[in-house]
Structure 1
Amino acid sequence: MKPFLVLQLRPEREAADEEFAAFLERGQLREAQVRRIRLDEAPMPALSLDDYAGIIVGGGPGCVSDAPEDKDPLEARIEADILSLMPEVLARDMPFMGCCYGMGILGHTLGGTVAKGRYGEPIGGVDCTLTEHGATDPILADLPRDFRALVGHKEAVEDLPQGATHLVASGPCPFQMIRAGRNVYATQFHPEAKGENFANRIRIYRDRGYFDPADAEALTAACLAERVSVPERILSNFTRRFGG
């Protein structure tokens, strides 16, 4: 069995380690079944995508919609590295799961509008609904039509990119999950996250502009009270479908 390639975009070690552990647990993967690359530690190495069953891309504090002059130099390099991989991913229809930041990456690559003006969501739970296409998608077909997920993002895809299929919607943010081709997926919500994961991220990112730091305690309590179980099935369905 080929391993999955896990690309992480978070410059904060604690957040990256917590996210990686969540990917393993919720994706039902062992460490021996993945190759982990933290792009904050070094530029993207030379890769042959033939060596991997699929790619999972984590979240991060960067935004593809930020003006180049406003990007942190490290985050700009990380973003450029992952964007450089996307043309081959799409050309191959390589199994790909981009989580949160990955939605911006995929939407931008497909030529869609990714911006902060309309559909950013505060940290917390949101009601999501499968679209007609989502209800028949191979990795979503066994999910309930409606489910809760955890979100927290400044930017969002504002229109469905050409060639993409709309899979999951919510009231605050229409494009919660899309697919390009047959195998390239991205979610705006975090399929790997439960309340305890978000509690950790609230602590780590409290000064990164996602929320008023004075609200951290209340947001933490709200996230810990969420009972989120369906999104992780998307991640495990993805790894099971493409892992062989």
Structure 2
Amino acid sequence: MAPLVYLCVRPQAGAAAAEYESFRAAMHLGDEGLERWDLVHDALPADFATRWRGAVVGGSPFNLSDPQSSKTATQRSVEDGLAHLALAAAAGETAALFTCYGIGVATRALGGEVTRAYPEDTGPTTIALTPEGRSDPLFGALATTFTALTAHKEGTGTLPARAVLLAENEGCPVQAYRVGDTLYATQFHPEPTGRAFTERMAVYRDDGYFDRGDYDAIAARVLEASLSEPPRILRAFAETF
């Protein structure tokens, strides 16, 4: 059986390696079950749909809504690869789960709108399943409300035409959706433990997600948060696909 793959879209090597480990641990997979492919340095291979049975996409300091003229060649290449993956997953050619930055690329590729109107502060937030989420194969076993971790400057303003809203909250109305049976996307991060998230915060403390002086207070809230539910999505994804 072909393995799953983690697609790295973080230029920072240390943060990317830690994120891979978070995904692998949450999915209960070994290195052979979850391969790595670095989209920052290598384009998505043409045979991705047969090389891997599915993909998970992590976060990034990139923002899809940045003006195209300001994007580096690296960012444009990453977004081209993720858009290709999104179209293939929406067509049922492969399975994919996009998170954080990835949800924006998938949303735009499939005809939805990405906006700066729904940023969320770094740290824990409360997520609520929609009725459709409560009956979804991946989300349905979760508690109807749960805590997850966020840190983003943009969000989905309008869903793609075929998308089914699975989770929401007041700060960012689109927290998760599904397109068809094989494309999933979350605005929140389903993979990190609290400790892993605080280590990631340290890498990006000067990137405008939070005031540098607030690091200790935010980290304390993250470490106190109960994060039992989000990793179950990843485990279900690994088992289903």
Using the size of structure 1 for normalisation, the TM-score is 0.94
1 CA distance for matches of 2:41 and 2:158? 33
Counting matched residue pairs gives 241
Partner Cα separation in structure 2 for residue 180 and residue 203 of structure 1: 34
> Hey, what's the Cα distance between the residues in 2 that align with 1:168 and 1:93?
25
Once the two structures are superposed, residues 126-177 of structure 1 have per-residue CA deviations (whole angstroms, 9 ceiling, x without a partner) of 1111100000001112111111000110000012221100000112111100
In structure 1, what is the Cα distance between the partners aligned to 2:93 and 2:183? 6
What's the offset of the Cα at 1:50?
A: 2.1
Give the structure 1 partner of residue 4 of structure 2: 4
Q: 1:88 to 1:239 in 2, by over 3 A?
A: same
| 1:133 counterpart SS class | helix
| Closer/same/farther in 2, CA of residues 141 and 93 from structure 1, 3 Å limit | farther
Q: What is the TM-score when the length of structure 2 is the normalising length?
A: 0.95
Q: Counterpart in 1 of 2:187?
A: 188
1:51 positional shift: 2.9
Q: Which runs of 5+ in 2 are unaligned?
A: none
Q: Which residue of 1 aligns with 2:234?
A: 235
User: Which string of whole-angstrom CA distances, capped at 9 and with x for unpartnered residues, describes residues 2-25 of structure 1?
Assistant: 200211100001100100000110
**Gap regions ≥5 residues in structure 1:** none
Residues 93 and 173 of structure 1, relative CA distance in 2, 3 Å threshold: farther
Instruction: Give distance in 2, aligned partners of 1:156 and 1:197.
Output: 23
1:122 aligns with 121
Same amino acid, percent of matched pairs: 36
Deviation at 1:86, TM superposition (A): 2.6
Shift of 1:46: 3.1
SS at match of 1:32: coil
SS in 2 for 1:31: coil
Classify 1:211/1:72 alpha carbon distance in 2 versus 1 (closer, same or farther; 3 Å): farther
- The alignment's C-alpha RMSD in Å is 1.4
| C-alpha distance in structure 1 between counterparts of 2:103 and 2:211, whole Å | 24
Give the distance between the partners of 2:99 and 2:113, measured in 1 at CA.
Answer: 18
Identify the residue that residue 109 of structure 1 maps to in structure 2. Answer: 109
> Aligned letter for 1:241?
T
User: Where do 1:122-141 residues align within 5 Å?
Assistant: 122-141=121-140
CA displacement 1:46-80 (0-9 Å, x = unmatched): 32412322111111111111101222442232222
Specify the code of the residue in structure 2 equivalent to 1:160.
L
Map residues 3-22 of structure 1 onto 2, 5 A cutoff.
3-22=3-22
**What amino acid maps onto 1:204 in structure 2?**
V
CA drift of 1:217 comes to 2.0
Write the distance in 2 (CA, Å) between the matches of 1:196 and 1:15. 13
